[in-house]
Amino acid sequence: MERGLDTRVVHSGERREKLEEISTVNPIYLSNTFTLDEPAEMDAILGGQRSGFTYSRHGNPTVAALADTMANLEQGEGAVMYGSGMAALQGALLACDLKPGDTVVVSRDLYGATVSLSKQVFGSFGIETQVVDMSDTQAVVSLLCDERVKAIVFESISNPLLRVANLPAILEAAQEHGVISIVDNTFATPYLCNPLKQGASMVVHSTTKYLNGHGDVMGGAVITNAQTKAKLVAQQKLTGGVLGAMEAWLTQRGLKTFALRFERQLASASELASRLDAHPMVARVHHPSLVHHPDHDLAMSLFPRGQGAVLSFEMDGGQAAVYELMKSLNLVVPGTTVGDVYSLLLYPSMASHRSLSPEEKRNAGITDGLVRLSVGIENVEDIWNDLDTALREAAAKSV
Ligand code: PLP
């Protein structure tokens, strides 16, 4: 019997035979569920006896392709993708099996929301957060000896002062004391370092940033060993913060030009850092390529291919001067992210670090005149002209 039109519009064209040809770019599997001819096969996948896809919260082919790429780039045994960098950090902390009374050590200049995640979300379950100055390697190492410390979270290059953590020393101490180490490698990217190779337990990325790079996708990743990956997957099936297939596909496409983009961004950031360092309207520049940066030597030895594509600088005149600068820019976009193809300027006091008390800001070195620049792929002379003109206009207006 011929099926009704109302049935045919639902099923026609779907579930076609597999193509013999292999598409050179992965398809986007915008399907929340997957069917198999053989019920026993479906049973085996759902039971975990064989790999495969049944439901996109448990796994999706487009997302799995990106996870494989992330594992490859960070040289881990596996990776799990999340709906944002924060979801990835939450997943990583959840996989530490923390109990009430356990302590998580976090670096003082960690991305503000990561500190709040540990203090507020995990704190509400009785987990303590201990904030430490990561540049004081001795202080970090002695904290790791405390048996209540179960995990440490830090960034390979910090935001917004671009402090560089002594990765080898800290990761070795964490291993020695059985402390789980979570390294947020968002700013350094796999182009500059692979913390898993140096002994990190888990590497986290906000793929929203450099890896996607085009300002159109949120995403996060945790890259780790096979055993921890299995735990992350099991927990993510329950917590559900998965990455969508469309976002995964866009990120995979963005990644194809990541090395080319980042190479340009690294070179332009160093060039702009040294020009800003000599600018009469700039009081101080923070970038590890500069000899006066406190971590210059460490950065040059850990990251010889470039010292990051973000820099920050301080203006005399505090908030008023920064606001004038933001209004005077024509090319650089005032915005709250990093790592996109276009240059972005952020006022940490207003955005990333707004939840800090005045004392916390002072301790973290976040002054009223500090601005952060994420260097894009534009012609470096155009970025410079925009900054130079805007700095001079801002200085004239805020006198
Ligand atoms: N880690 C770092 C270093 C970040 O800068 C950010 C966001 O700015 C995050 C994590 C959080 O990532 P997302 O915004 O994708 O949740």
Per-residue pLDDT of 30-39, as tens digits, reads 999 999 999 9
Separation in Å, CA 112 to CA 57, 87, 195, 356? 29, 14, 21, 8
Which helix (H) or strand (E) is 151 found in, with range? strand 149-155
Q: Is 19 exposed, middle or buried (0-12, 13-18, 19+ CB in 10 A)?
A: exposed
For residues 295 and 288, give the distance between their C-alpha atoms in angstroms, rounded to a whole number: 6
**Atom from ligand 1 closest to the CA of residue 208:** 15
Question: Does residue 86 line the site of ligand 1, with CB under 6 A?
Answer: yes
The answer on pLDDT for 175 being more than 90 is yes
Query: To test the ligand 1 pocket, which listed residue (84, 206, 212) has its Cβ within 8 A of the most ligand atoms?
Result: 206
E strand map for 188-302: 202-206, 220-224, 284-286
**CB-based contact 375:312 (threshold 8 Å):** no
Is residue 389 scored above 80 in pLDDT? yes
Average pLDDT of every residue of the chain: 95
Quote the ligand 1 centre to 359 CA distance (angstroms): 23
Distance 116 CA to ligand 1 centre (A): 13
Ligand 1 centroid distance, CA of 311 (Å) = 16
Query: Which pLDDT score is estimated for 24?
Result: 94
**DSSP letter at 177?**
T
| Its pTM surpasses 0.85 | yes
pLDDT at 197 over 90: yes
pLDDT of residue 75: 98
82 classed as catalytic? no
Percent of the chain residues topping a pLDDT of 70: 100
Q: What is the pLDDT of residue 360?
A: 82
Q: What is the mean pLDDT of residues 357-373?
A: 90
Tell me the best of 70, 86, 185, 352 to mutate to test the pocket of ligand 1, counting ligand atoms within 8 Å of each CB and taking the most.
86
Instruction: Tell me the DSSP string of 285-347.
Output: EE-TTSTTSTTHHHHHHH-TT-S-SEEEEE-TTHHHHHHHHHHH-SSSEE-S--SSSS-EEE-
Write out pLDDT tens, residues 52-107: 999 999 999 999 999 999 999 999 999 999 999 999 999 999 999 999 999 999 99
**pLDDT tens by residue, 203-233:** 999 999 999 999 999 999 999 999 999 999 9
pLDDT of 356: 78
Q: Please report the pLDDT score of residue 355 as a whole number.
A: 77
3-class secondary structure, 48: coil
pLDDT band at 109; cut points 50, 70, 90 = confident
Taking the CB of residue 260, how many other CB atoms lie within 10 A of it?
10
Per-residue pLDDT, 354: 84
> How many angstroms separate the first and last alpha carbons of the chain?
85
Structure tokens at 32: 């929340």
Answer whether 155 contacts ligand 1 (Cβ < 6 A): yes
CB of 374 shorter than 6 A to ligand 1 = no
pLDDT exceeds 80 at position 110: yes
Q: How many DSSP H helices and E strands does the chain contain?
A: 15, 12
Q: Which of 261-270, 311-320, 359-368 has the lowest mean pLDDT?
A: 359-368
Catalytic residue among 111, 191, 210, 347: 111
Which atom of ligand 1 is found nearest the CA of 220? Answer: 15
56 C-beta neighbours (distance < 10 Å), count: 20
Tens digits of residue pLDDT in 262-291 = 999 999 999 999 999 999 999 999 999 999
* 364 CB-side CA count, 13 A: 29
AA identity, residue 120: Q
For position 399, what pLDDT does the model report? Answer: 67
Please state whether beta strands 149-155 and 180-184 pair in parallel, antiparallel, or not at all (unpaired): parallel
**Tens digits of residue pLDDT in 319-352:** 999 999 999 999 999 999 999 999 999 999 998 8
Q: Please report, as a single letter, which amino acid is at residue 297.
A: D
Q: What is the DSSP letter of 120?
A: I
Is residue 209 part of the annotated active site? The answer reads yes
Dist CA 208 CA 186 (whole Å): 9
Tell me whether residue 111 is one of the annotated catalytic residues.
yes
